[in-house]
Structure 1
Amino acid sequence: MGDKVLCREGYGSSRVKKNYVSTDDGRLVVVDQSPTGTTFSHFFRSVFLPQGYPESVSQDYLEYQIWDTIQAFASSITGTLAAQAVLKGVGVGDENATVLAATMTWILKDGTGMLGRIVFAWLRGSSLDCNSKRWRLFADILNDLAICIEILAPNFPGIFTPLVCTAGVCKSVVGVAGGATRAALTQHQARRNNMADVSAKDGSQETLVNLAALICNLALIPLVTGKQSLIWFLYIIFTCLHLYANYSAVKCVVMETMNQSRLNLIVKELLDCSHIPSIQHTNRLEPVVFRTRRKLEIILGCSVGKLCTSAKELQTLLMLYKGTPYLLGLNIKKGEICIALSDRATTSDQLQSCYQAEVINYVYENLYKNKTLHSSLAPVVKALENGDVHGALAASLIYTNLTIEAFCQGVVQQKWVLNPVLLNANEWRAKWDIDGVTDKKEY
């Protein structure tokens, strides 16, 4: 009757609760106040979910992980079907097959895959952070293609080795794109500087899924061996499930950082409706299969040589952009807006240059649609209608300087993150006097 509660504690937002009670005889007794069944759920959360879940991860974490679990299970099933086909192709079970031939095929398959990994990382490595959702989906589509080639390969013994080498290259690209984009998504999901924990628990989840798929495969493989029609039926079913789950996974991710696709959608919404869209709305509209469609492609961080071919043209741009740490050129014939950055340009300057480019692209796309544009864009419209490129650049720069501050304040109010910006800038940087006089020592 004289027991007194000295302290109460809980484990994060879970229902695990404990009371520390002082008894009459001076002992400290721990009383578990957790509801029935909480111990098991707490153990499960501790093993497979990041510490502090759900506060320690992004709001889209659970939905993404559910779809990721489904796609991993489907991929494991089709991967086993492909592995069986490759083993059959290299001669497992064939008395006439030689160990040397099988070994050479495997070495060539691995070797071409290594080369493919290096080449892809060289060509596309810089864009994986900027378009992580699109490359994530691309990796899974390519993985299904590689599995399809491996299942087909034993039916063409004359070109079996080239086919499995092609599949090896595809899978190596999948490894680079999938691994890199997984890291980018993990960084997005980790909200307590707990990227390693989120990544480790993601690995535990995937291992559990693969274990479940392994058990299914042990029962499945004896049933499908030698039955090509059944193998193809299962491949089609699980591939469709795999692709749908992957598409749903990347679509549910809500990224707060700014890339060119999301900036394009924000500027269009702003100029169409005079308001900045929410993060959720923009991510829902962001294309994850194809690139953003524009009439004018935006190339950020390009060489000055792409903007102009004569000294007079360069001098005109330097005077036009006096006081601005970038040079923006418009080439309507090629359908390009090229942006050269000064070595003094910051991420804010990159955002401003792309904002100006998006304004020009917006006006150009709506030029002949009989669409009424805001009166503040009238000088840009008039210049483009008359084919006056420099006039359009000057008018769009004036509009940008007048509106960029309000634009940045608006996106921050909508919880967008402006540092870093993922605008996929190339590494060319130029030196010139920002006040408009060319630096004669270093250019």
Structure 2
Amino acid sequence: MAEGRGLAVTLCSERFGSGTARGCRAAADGGLQWEAGAWRWWGLSGAFSVKPAGRDGGRGGTPGAASSPLSGLLAVFLPQGFPDSVSPDYLPYQLWDSVQAFASSLSGALATQAVLLGIGVGDAKASVSAATATWLVKDSTGMLGRIIFAWWKGSKLDCNAKQWRLFADILNDVAMFLEIMAPVLPICFTITVCTSNLAKCIVSVAGGATRAALTMHQARRNNMADVSAKDSSQETLVNLAGLLVSLLMLPLVSDCPSVSLGCFFFLTALHIYANYRAVRALVMETLNEGRLWLILKHFLQKGEVLSPTSANQMEPLWTDQVQVVLSQTAGPETVLRAATHGLVLGALRGDGPLPGELEELRNQMWAGPEKDSWAIVKETHQVLDKLFPKFLKGLQDAGWKTEKHQLEVDEWRATWPLSPEKKML
């Protein structure tokens, strides 16, 4: 574009996420024309000199001006590109997660004080070797528990990340309660603190594994490392605040066990409530058994597929299991269909309306002579041939990710001969 005797050319424009920025382009006299807006302009003027504007979103702003303190703070504790680079449930989850971490930090300070008192810190008669032995036994018990729990439940933590996350935090509160009560019964002190540390090690395995699963859900731009690192920074800041408050709180309650216990119960209640709200804030778009059952039940009764937000709000925090056998070639869609088939069989024994053919089959089950179980499986399989394609399309249209799932599937696979009818095909 020509302006006066000079030339101003706009080469390209750039925007930092969904935030706002100042843009510029080269003016005819070789200067810069700054433009407010969400875009960043690059201009060419004079002897091919490029004059770019500064970035926004915690990366700069007006040229020559420092970014605001708030922008700098957000850049330190939030993933790059926030909020577009994370899932929509990121902020409410992290807020409640910070509240629970703060309450847990204060409770942990009370529990640590009780353990130190129990092993004899401040007692001139206490034996250093006895205290050391107690500490080593406690740590050894926890290490063994960590290995055993990871072997026992490690492959199942992804399937019900929210449930295991809530379980881990409640178990952590139980462990801290045991530590607080340990000095009350000195004869059982070693057993009590060993049990407590065993529970805490289980918490670390379950909490760490589910945190990784939730980070994978929240990271939307292949930025798991950034989301995880910023989550760690947030937790460190909250724990630092908890440490400072603990330094003020402990001298006030250390001489009064009843007040200390009362503070612990209040903080535990806050911790559990904040964890519940954090878990409820999560909106997972992948299907596990609990969410699949809710969606299928609603679909069978009303012919509609629940959205991820609605299903997550209704998801039970404890679930049952459906047992199916998978073939060697079973992929994600086959696994989803098999789980749906199993849940349909369960729906036949429940209450509530069902689509025509399933309702007829349920009436036959209860009104007539008892049918063979495999006959029921075969008939529901035929119904599912018509029902599942519509159900699958409804899931995809509602925003569910059906190319992957969080159904509890192990590595066992089966092979079986084809029926005569399929051999003929």
TM-score (norm 2): 0.86
- Is residue 71–residue 245 contact of structure 1 (8 Å, CA) maintained in 2? yes
Distance of 2:346 and 2:53 partners within structure 1: 67
- Is residue 159–residue 408 contact of structure 2 (8 Å, CA) maintained in 1? yes
- Is residue 143–residue 174 contact of structure 1 (8 Å, CA) maintained in 2? yes
CA offsets, 1:48-72, max 9 Å, x none?
1000000000000000000001000
1:18: how far off?
4.8
Distance of 2:411 and 2:213 partners within structure 1: 21
Q: Out of 373, 380, 395, which is 2:361 matched to?
A: 380
Query: Partner of 1:350 in structure 2?
Result: 335
1:383: how far off?
4.3
Q: Out of 313, 328, 332, which is 1:284 matched to?
A: 313
Is 1:298 paired with 2:303? no
Q: Per the alignment, do residues 5 and 85 of structure 1 end up closer, same or farther by CA in structure 2, a change over 3 Å counting?
A: farther
Q: Per the alignment, do residues 19 and 175 of structure 1 end up closer, same or farther by CA in structure 2, a change over 3 Å counting?
A: same
Is 1:359 paired with 2:340? no
Is 1:17 paired with 2:44? no
1:9: how far off?
5.5
Query: Partner of 2:257 in structure 1?
Result: 228
Q: Which residues in structure 2 correspond to 1:147-186 (within 5 Å)? A: 147-186=176-215
Query: Partner of 2:45 in structure 1?
Result: none
- Is residue 383–residue 392 contact of structure 1 (8 Å, CA) maintained in 2? no
1:14: how far off?
2.8
Query: Partner of 2:390 in structure 1?
Result: 406
Q: RMSD between aligned alpha carbons? A: 2.5
SS at match of 2:68: helix
1:436: how far off?
5.7
Query: Partner of 2:409 in structure 1?
Result: 425
1:343: how far off?
1.4
- Is residue 172–residue 203 contact of structure 2 (8 Å, CA) maintained in 1? yes
- Is residue 80–residue 217 contact of structure 1 (8 Å, CA) maintained in 2? yes
CA offsets, 1:2-44, max 9 Å, x none?
997968765323334353555846685968549x996222211
SS at match of 1:193: coil
Quick one: which amino acid aligns to residue 51 of structure 1?
A: Q
Distance of 1:358 and 1:255 partners within structure 2: 20
Gaps of 5+ in 2: 33-50, 55-60
Q: Per the alignment, do residues 149 and 365 of structure 1 end up closer, same or farther by CA in structure 2, a change over 3 Å counting?
A: same
Distance of 2:319 and 2:171 partners within structure 1: 17
SS at match of 1:257: coil
1:276: how far off?
0.9
CA offsets, 1:78-119, max 9 Å, x none?
001101110111110011111111111111111111111111
Query: Partner of 1:322 in structure 2?
Result: none
1:391: how far off?
2.4
- Is residue 305–residue 394 contact of structure 2 (8 Å, CA) maintained in 1? yes
Distance of 1:21 and 1:149 partners within structure 2: 69
Distance of 2:146 and 2:175 partners within structure 1: 14
Aligned length: 389
Distance of 1:74 and 1:87 partners within structure 2: 20
Distance of 2:25 and 2:253 partners within structure 1: 59
Query: Partner of 1:114 in structure 2?
Result: 143
Query: Partner of 1:396 in structure 2?
Result: 380
Distance of 1:57 and 1:222 partners within structure 2: 41
Quick one: which amino acid aligns to residue 370 of structure 2?
A: G
- Is residue 8–residue 20 contact of structure 1 (8 Å, CA) maintained in 2? no
SS at match of 1:365: coil
Query: Partner of 2:39 in structure 1?
Result: none
- Is residue 5–residue 20 contact of structure 1 (8 Å, CA) maintained in 2? yes
1:220: how far off?
1.1
1:226: how far off?
2.4
- Is residue 15–residue 38 contact of structure 1 (8 Å, CA) maintained in 2? no
Quick one: which amino acid aligns to residue 339 of structure 2?
A: C
Q: Per the alignment, do residues 174 and 111 of structure 1 end up closer, same or farther by CA in structure 2, a change over 3 Å counting?
A: same
SS at match of 1:413: helix
Q: Relative to structure 2, which stretch is displaced further, 212-221 or 198-207?
A: 212-221
Query: Partner of 2:269 in structure 1?
Result: 240
CA offsets, 1:245-265, max 9 Å, x none?
100000010000011001100
Q: Per the alignment, do residues 424 and 259 of structure 1 end up closer, same or farther by CA in structure 2, a change over 3 Å counting?
A: same
Gaps of 5+ in 1: 300-338, 438-443
Quick one: which amino acid aligns to residue 14 of structure 1?
A: G
Query: Partner of 1:129 in structure 2?
Result: 158
Is 1:146 paired with 2:127? no
Distance of 1:354 and 1:45 partners within structure 2: 43
Distance of 1:29 and 1:280 partners within structure 2: 42
Distance of 1:375 and 1:25 partners within structure 2: 76
Q: Out of 297, 312, 315, which is 1:268 matched to?
A: 297
1:372: how far off?
4.7
Distance of 1:5 and 1:398 partners within structure 2: 66
Query: Partner of 1:80 in structure 2?
Result: 109
1:225: how far off?
1.4
SS at match of 2:379: helix
Quick one: which amino acid aligns to residue 420 of structure 1?
A: K
1:428: how far off?
1.9
Query: Partner of 1:416 in structure 2?
Result: 400
Quick one: which amino acid aligns to residue 247 of structure 2?
A: L
TM-score (norm 1): 0.82
Distance of 1:407 and 1:373 partners within structure 2: 14
Q: Relative to structure 2, which stretch is displaced further, 268-277 or 131-140?
A: 268-277
Query: Partner of 1:250 in structure 2?
Result: 279
